[in-house]
Amino acid sequence: MKNYPQSDLLKRLPKQFFASLVAKVGEHLEQGHDIINLGQGNPDQPTPEHIVKSLQLAAENPINHKYSPFQGYRYLKEAAAEFYKREYGVEVDPDKEVAILFGGKAGLVELPQCLLNPGETVLVPDPGYPDYWSGVELAKAKMVTMPLREENNFLPEFDELNAEDLDAAKLMFLNYPNNPTGAVATKDFFSKTVELGRKHDICIVHDFAYGAIGFDDKKPVSFLQTEGAKEVGIEIYTLSKTYNMAGWRVGFAVGNPSVIAALNLFQDHVYVSLFGAVQEAAAAALTESQQCVRELNAMYESRRNVLISGLQEIGWDVKSPEGSFFAWLKVPVDFTSMEFADYLLEKAHIVVAPGIGFGEWGEGFVRVGLLTSEERLKEAIQRIEQLNLF
């Protein structure tokens, strides 16, 4: 059998750091161990029933058995506009300011290819979502990282960026509520971001994947709520987390019309369009009762409280996340993040994600997902307590 070599482009792509973690977990499962997996980012609850029923009905409609319009049905764009008006008070033009995406990840990876030429600069948070790196590499662009430090509430310090990088930058990725840290952004921070984008002609891309998940009666802020935000950028929203629709692969970008047009043009060459029945179900999710979202948020907050209070009780000095479904925990002294993740897997059969997998500034932390039951979280705490680390 002939072995065809991969292209240089594929060879340049960043290695999937967490593939090795999945392999390690698989080995322990094969050995019969009871694994508590807190390392994943996959919602554990089913999609709400009314959304599933919408899909079922739509799947029976022959119109949805044909190719749907290249850039998606207008009713889904109208639903996205209605959603932003209702939830954030933001007016959106469904024709010029919304692009339907095959999940949020697709838009995030596509954007550097839409807006950058080889060698141009992208500002990327560190720690951050690793697929930002993939998009930068596919565009053959240059990545400059922005450290996210605990002492600054995991917000980048724009004053730290050197003038040369700011002048060269064409694109900036931000993500709040944040993966992996669970931090949230403030209105003041987003105002400074818009000002920076204007001054240096940088397109701001806000990844709002966890926009529905905020704790302590504080609703996460949308970047588009900031005056002038649509002049300098876009926001990417996914239904994966808000409605437990991760496997459905549907999201949308909202904001600056020129960026939306670029995304639409790129996708015209890569896809036809999303299955019409999924578009109908997505529209139902965005426009019908949001009680399921409120209940989901309350569940994550309750899980957060169980995890953080339990870890604090056994002596682990951890801080409570303000949003997302992740907690970002400092590793004990004398461990790297990878060593600690391996230790928990070997000694307690608990999976966590080592911080180094999210960038250089992720070292010293592990990411824990609130994506299992409170009973399993309590059991994980008991297993960690028995290790006598704290």
Residue 191 lies in domain: 49-287
37 lies in the same domain as 153: no
Q: Are residues 205 and 281 in the same domain?
A: yes
| Alpha-carbon torsion (130, 26, 12, 104), positive or negative | negative
Distance linking the first and last C-alpha atoms of the chain: 55
CB-based contacts of 372, cutoff 8 Å, min separation 6: 36, 37, 38, 44
- 296 and 239 housed in the same domain: no
Query: Same domain for 348 and 369?
Result: yes
Residue 356: the pLDDT is: 95
Exposed, middle or buried, 204 (CB in 10 Å: 0-12/13-18/19+)?
buried
According to DSSP H, which parts of 152-238 are helical? 163-168, 187-200, 229-232
Count Cβ atoms below 10 Å from residue 174 Cβ, excluding itself: 24
Alpha-carbon gap, residue 390 to 386, rounded angstroms:
10
Q: Are residues 17 and 125 in the same domain?
A: no
**What pTM does this model have?**
0.96
Q: Give the number of other Cβ atoms within 10 Å of residue 376's Cβ.
A: 17
Is the peptide bond between 177 and the residue preceding it cis, with omega within 30 degrees of 0?
Answer: yes
Q: Are 165 and 246 contained in the same domain?
A: yes
The domain spanning residue 351 has which CATH number?
Answer: 3.90.1150.10
Q: How far apart are CA 329 and CA 117, in angstroms?
A: 38
Tokens of 89: 């008070």
Instruction: Mark whether 335 and 379 lie in a shared domain.
Output: yes
Reported as a pLDDT band with limits 50, 70 and 90, residue 62 is: very high
Last residue of a domain, one of 219, 252, 287: 287
Q: Which of 24, 130, 15, 153 is nearest to 145 (CA)?
A: 130
The 10s digit of each residue's pLDDT in 340-382 is 999 999 999 999 999 999 999 999 999 999 999 999 999 999 9
User: If pLDDT is split at 50, 70 and 90, which confidence band does 40 have?
Assistant: confident
Same domain, 168 and 70: yes
Task: Judge if 27 and 66 occupy the same domain.
Answer: no
5 SS3 class: coil
What does the pLDDT look like over 119-174, one tens digit per residue? 999 999 999 999 999 999 999 999 999 999 999 999 999 999 999 999 999 999 99
Residues 273 and 348 in one domain: no
pLDDT at position 28 over 90: no
Instruction: Domain count for the chain, please give it.
Output: 2
| CATH code: domain of residue 257 | 3.40.640.10
Contact call for residues 278 and 250 (beta carbons, < 8 A): yes
- Single-letter residue type at 124: V
277 in the same domain as 164: yes
Domain boundary among 241, 263, 287: 287
Is the domain of 60 the same as that of 41?
Answer: no
3 lies in a domain?
no
Residue 321 lies in a domain: yes
Helix (H/G/I), strand (E/B), else coil: 323: strand
Q: What is the pLDDT of residue 24?
A: 80
Do 211 and 319 meet the contact criterion of CB atoms below 8 Å apart? no
Domain boundary among 227, 258, 287: 287
Query: Residue 311's closest CA among 302, 322, 319?
Result: 319
Beta bridge partners of 148: 156
Distances (CA, A) of 182 to 83, 127, 128: 24, 11, 11
